[in-house]
Amino acid sequence: MNRIAKALKWGASALRVLRVRIVAGNRLKIASGKPLYLGKGTRLILGEGASLSIGAGVYLSPECIVQVNKGATLVLEDGVYMNEGCRVTVVESARIGADTLFGPNVQIYDHDHEFDRRGGVSSKLLHAPVSIGHRCWLCANTVVTRGCSIACCSLVSANSVVTRDLNEAGALYAGVPARLIKRYD
């Protein structure tokens, strides 16, 4: 990418960041240092009393959606990178550690709907915090569900669904549901 195209790309992002800062007010905290990048079509949605804290050098590619509902809290630590089409929706709390990478279309939810034996889906939400350690890599189409923690330096393979804690740091996880495949030494 030549310097002019790069300047235009980052200039457009700066305008998007400015617009979000104005709309969100004190619900949005952005660290100083490396700038925040917001790609075209990226949406930051903050409910009443929500809190979104964004570290230095966070990069949200085009068409990402970050939704922090009423009274909820989301922390994106320094250097978090989300590829195109990622979605993070929070009704309670979530934390994504520094230098964590998301492949395309990664989905993070700290909640789901109540479901009964008869197949009835309720509008009532069940929720529990989500925590992703630093220097993790969640590959394309990974889904992380409510109440899950992922240990630092973990790699979660493409198309995996995380339904329980992944406690081994520095390991490869894969599958539906995601399970330990290999420890890195």
Q: What's the pLDDT tens digit per position in 151-160?
A: 999 999 999 9
Q: Tell me how many domains the chain contains.
A: 1
* Residue 124 or 141, more confident: 141
Q: What percent of the chain clears pLDDT 90, i.e. is strictly above it?
A: 88
Instruction: State how far the Cα of 68 lies from the Cα of 159, in Å rounded to an integer.
Output: 24
Instruction: State how far the Cα of 28 lies from the Cα of 143, in Å rounded to an integer.
Output: 25
What integer is the mean pLDDT of 167-176?
97
Q: What percent of the chain clears pLDDT 70, i.e. is strictly above it?
A: 99
- pTM listed for this prediction: 0.93
- Residue-wise pLDDT for 107-138, tens only, equals 999 999 887 777 777 788 899 999 999 999 99
Q: Check which CATH number belongs to the domain holding 75 and give it.
A: 2.160.10.10
- Residue-wise pLDDT for 9-53, tens only, equals 999 999 999 999 999 999 999 999 999 999 999 999 999 999 999
- Residue-wise pLDDT for 44-84, tens only, equals 999 999 999 999 999 999 999 999 999 999 999 999 999 99
Q: What is the pLDDT of residue 117?
A: 76
H-state helical runs in the chain: 3-24
Q: How many CB atoms lie within 10 A of CB 10?
A: 11
H-state helical runs in 40-100: none
Q: Is the pLDDT of residue 173 over 90?
A: yes
Q: What is the pLDDT of residue 157?
A: 98
Q: What is the pLDDT of residue 75?
A: 98
Q: Residue 113 belongs to what domain range? A: 3-183
Instruction: State how far the Cα of 136 lies from the Cα of 124, in Å rounded to an integer.
Output: 31
